[in-house]
Structure 1
Amino acid sequence: MDAATFTQTKILCGISVQKKMDEMHPYHPLYKSEANYHKNRDEAEMDMLRRTMGLGFPLKLQMERKLAGKVGHLPCITTSSHASLDALQGIDTTISYDDIFGQAEFMEAIPDLPFNAVNNMKN
């Protein structure tokens, strides 16, 4: 077996091994864990609170989070803000992708609203 044939066989075996690995494990092992990160973190927090504070405090916190998530916003405001829910979840001090790029002013099509200054100036 010469060097070229050996190298070609080695490359083909490597490709077939990679293909088998992709079929057996189509995603990274941490994918499931990271996809459910917030849910897992909340469950761990509730479990810790249940062990230290008793059953009443986690139930009260869950009820407050559920009620804070249902709070609406004024019709004149285009984006809804769940500031109280963010504070209860502890994510009010973090800046995420949705905080910057999920705003209406960064969208391609600005809705035609009476208080929209850009569209009012064009008319």
Structure 2
Amino acid sequence: MSFRIPSVKSKASFDAPFEVNKGEYEVTNPMVTGAVSKNSHFSHAIENSEQSFHQNQLRREMVMLRNVQGLHAPMRLAMELKAAERVGRHPFMPSSGLMRDVLLGRDEEIGFEDVLNCSEFKEEMGQPHAIVEKKLGFF
């Protein structure tokens, strides 16, 4: 029995076959191949699933809303989400995404992004005046 819900199976995150140039002792030579990048490693299926969990959940909820309440419900929710994303803030201030979390019902759950992604611990800090001038096109 199909409810026309899209598949949530993870897909491979790489396009081409991965070849490693092994040197002496079956270890890559960083002087030849360069430093190891994060994208060169295969990711686990669970990691892919976790990265796309919220997107898959939103897609599933939109399909269920359309089947139960009609086309107007997912369109209205999509418009509210779009309006919540367009709320103006200064370019140098991080957005908390609170309105989006409230609309999606994620304001009552605690996840990794709440604990490990605090804006006060960011390593990048720009100069507010320079960022605003760049945004306004003065440079």
Q: Which runs of 5+ in 1 are unaligned?
A: 1-25, 114-123
Partner SS, residue 94 of structure 2 = coil
Q: In the aligned structure 1, how far is the partner of 2:49 from the partner of 2:70?
A: 27
Q: Which residue of 1 aligns with 2:50?
A: 34
Q: Which residue of 1 aligns with 2:108?
A: 93
Structural RMSD (CA): 2.7
Q: In the aligned structure 2, how far is the partner of 1:112 from the partner of 1:50?
A: 45
Question: Taking structure 2 as the reference length, what is the TM-score of the superposition?
Answer: 0.50
- Between Structure 1 and Structure 2, the one with more helix by share is 1
Q: Which runs of 5+ in 2 are unaligned?
A: 1-41, 129-139
Q: Which residue of 1 aligns with 2:85?
A: 69
Contact 1:73 1:81 in 2 (8 A): no
Runs of 4+ residues deviating >4 angstroms: 108-113
Percent identical pairs in the alignment equals 37
Instruction: Name the larger-Rg structure.
Output: 1
1:53 to 48, 69, 73: 69
Q: What's the CA shift for 1:39?
A: 1.2
Q: Which residue of 2 aligns with 1:106?
A: 121
Q: Which amino acid aligns with 1:102?
A: N
Q: What's the CA shift for 1:89?
A: 1.2
2:94 to 55, 75, 79: 79
Any idea what the Cα deviations from partners look like across 1:74-116, whole Å, max 9, x if unmatched?
A: 67x8432221111001111122233233334334577788xxx
Q: How many residues align?
A: 87
Q: In the aligned structure 1, how far is the partner of 2:115 from the partner of 2:46?
A: 26
Name the stretch that deviates more: 87-96 or 30-39.
Answer: 30-39
Sort the Cα spacing of 1:100 and 1:73 in 2 relative to 1 into closer, same or farther, 3 A: farther
Question: Taking structure 1 as the reference length, what is the TM-score of the superposition?
Answer: 0.55
Any idea what the Cα deviations from partners look like across 1:16-38, whole Å, max 9, x if unmatched?
A: xxxxxxxxxx5544444333211
